[in-house]
Each structure stands twice: as C-alpha cells, then as structure tokens.
Amino acid sequence: MSEILSIDNLTKKYGYLTAVSNLSFTINKGNVYGILGPNGSGKSTTLGIVLNVVNRTSGEFKWFDGTVSTHEALKKVGAIIERPNFYPYMSAYDNLKLVCKIKGVSYEKIDEKLEIVGLIERKNSPFRTFSLGMKQRLAIASALLNDPEILILDEPTNGLDPQGIHQIRTLIKQIASEGTTILLASHLLDEVEKVCSHVVVLRKGEKLYSGRVDEMVSSFGFFELRTEKTTELVKLLQADAAFNKVTELDGLVTAFLEQPMDASDFNKMMYEKGIVLSHLVKRKPSLEEQFLQLTDSTNPTKN
Ligand code: ADP
Ligand code: MG
C-alpha cells in the first residue's frame, strides 16, 4: 500500500503549552482518515504543520516517498483549513478561474469539479448568494482543481444545517470512492463514524488510538441477562475467566466478555449448569461508549 503521509514523533509547543505531543501516524492511499478529538486537542495544529503553515517544535513528517520537498509535495495536496473565502461579487466560475491561474491548472477543470460538488447549475451566481453549505462545497471544488492525491478538511461541517452536513458527508464519501485519499479533522464522533475508515484519536495533543474505526476498541461485547437465580448466575460468571466484569442492577445482570462467545453457546452452557435465562441479549458498546471508555483517564487499558 503506498504511503501518502507519515508523521513521526511530531511535537508543537506554544510557550509552555504542548499543543501536539510526540504524535506519530501514517496515512496510506485510498482510505478516509479522521483526526478525532475535543476542541483544543491539537487537530488543526497537526494539519497546519504538515501543510507548512505552522512550524513544528520537533519531530518529522514525510509526504509521499519523501524524495520531494514539502513545497513540491503540497502541489499534490488539496486542503481547506479555514472558512472558505472567495470574492463575494464574483461568480463561482470566475472565483475558480482565479484559483486555476494561481495553481497553473487548465480552466477545463472548473466545470468538472463544479459538477462533482453539485454546483454546476449555480456556476454563474455570485459567491455572496451561496448558503454556507454551498460555500463549503465551492471550497471543496477549488481544492480539487489540481486533482490532488489527498484532500484535507478541517471540521468540514462546522456551522452547517443538517441538510448541509449531510451533503458534505455524502460528497466526501463520493470523492473517496473515486480514489482520493481523505484526511479530515473533526470533534464529532458520529461524523468520523459515518465518514471515515480509519481514525487517530487525540486528547491534549496526545494520541490515544489509531487504527480502523470499526476496531477502535477490541471489544467482544457483553450479555444482558435475567434469571430467577440471579445470585447463582452472578457467582458463576464472576468465577468464569471468559468474563472480565459482571454487574447486577434490579435483577438485570450485565456480563462483559473477555473473549468471543456466541449467545446460543452461552445459553446452552448456562442451561447445562441449571440456570434458565428468561432474558438474553448480546450487545456491543456503541462507538460513543468506546470513545468515552478510551478517553477516560482512569481506564487502564489505554496506551
Ligand atoms: P483543535 O484543532 O483540536 O481544536 P488546536 O490545534 O487548534 O486544537 O489547538 C491545540 C492547542 O494549542 C490549544 O490549547 C490551543 O489553544 C493552542 N494553540 C493553537 N494555536 C495557537 C497559537 N497560535 N498560539 C498559542 N496557542 C495556540
Ligand atoms: Mg481546530
């Protein structure tokens, strides 16, 4: 798999404040990456460093195979890290013409990109008549003009209404499905869950997790159980190494798995031990529950 960006032990200090701390991760071609973390966790600083607008304090980053300068490499990167800013009285088309001139791109690209972001019908409308969502989509069209290898977006749906948010997320997925690698920063867990295949979770500039979104916490799930023999059941499960935690509240027993186990196998096992379950549900924690577990400083399993 070819590498687009690798970050190695990157640190950024603003005086006494460490905004990014020893951060390392790699971005491979064809995936959608999220940098997820609360406000102030160092997402924008990280993007600023790799885009050469913020100076790092220490550490390294390498674009593509590392043989070209960052300046050259950035010609193959499309990025939107600030609110879209175009000339208000000029049309969408004319604004993009200016960008083409600056980037040295043929004007032929303009219609193609306006088509992708769904603004072709509005190409002659002045920028100032656009909704916030349309402005953001025009910014994406602008970032795509040079057919970048990777598109970088910082909080792409901030401030948009639900419909605008939906349009942007659909657009990101569509661009990714056509082979452009995406890196987006977001403080919204559900955004990362809906859009990204991979995630880097930050808290106070430190990496808590990086990997596939669907494997964020290696969790085998848990059983919710009811039986007439509650006390017996709890005792039995507490003694069983397959479970790492067992709780009971108003007769509802929750047992967290330490290893994979089928609900039907479990049911059979309990039956053989003389416990008849009147209620048996297997659940997995939601990504939100996993995220909270991960960012909980009392959780000993995080690294
Ligand atoms: P995020 O994008 O995750 O919200 P930022 O990267 O913007 O986080 O900020 C990380 C930390 O660095 C915050 O504590 C922020 O206040 C601080 N910070 C960001 N930019 C500057 C700056 N130019 N000068 C001083 N501190 C800054
Ligand atoms: Mg930010």
Mean pLDDT, all residues of the chain: 92
Q: What residues are in contact with ligand 1 under a 6 Å CB criterion?
A: 14, 17, 19, 37, 39-45
CATH architecture, range 3-216: 3-Layer(aba) Sandwich (3.40)
Q: Are strands 58-63 and 3-14 parallel, antiparallel or unpaired?
A: antiparallel
Q: Report d(CA 106, CA 125) in Å as an integer.
A: 21
3-216 and 222-284, same CATH topology: no
- Angle formed at CA 73 by CA 67 and CA 74, multiple of 5 degrees: 160
Distance from Cα 99 to the centre of ligand 2, integer Å: 24
Using the atom order of ligand 1, give the atom closest to the CA of residue 187: 3
Q: Could you tell me the residue ranges of all domains in the chain?
A: 3-216, 222-284
Ligand index nearest the alpha carbon of residue 45: 1
Q: Which amino acid residue places its CA nearest to atom 27 of ligand 1?
A: 14
Ligand index nearest the alpha carbon of residue 36: 1
CATH class of the domain at 222-284: alpha beta
Ligand index nearest the alpha carbon of residue 49: 1
Tens-place pLDDT, residues 197-240: 999 999 999 998 899 887 775 578 889 999 999 999 999 999 99
What is the model's pTM?
0.80
Task: Write out the H or E segment, with its range, that includes residue 109.
Answer: helix 108-116
The number of beta carbons lying within 10 Å of the beta carbon of residue 3 is 14
Q: Which amino acid residue places its CA nearest to atom 22 of ligand 1?
A: 14
E-assigned strands of 141-197?
150-154, 181-186
Q: Report d(CA 256, CA 224) in Å as an integer.
A: 9
What would the mean pLDDT of 239-253 be, rounded to a whole number? Answer: 93
Cβ atoms of 1 and 29 closer than 8 Å? yes
Cβ atoms of 242 and 259 closer than 8 Å? yes
Tens-place pLDDT, residues 161-175: 999 999 999 999 999
Percent of the chain with pLDDT over 90: 81
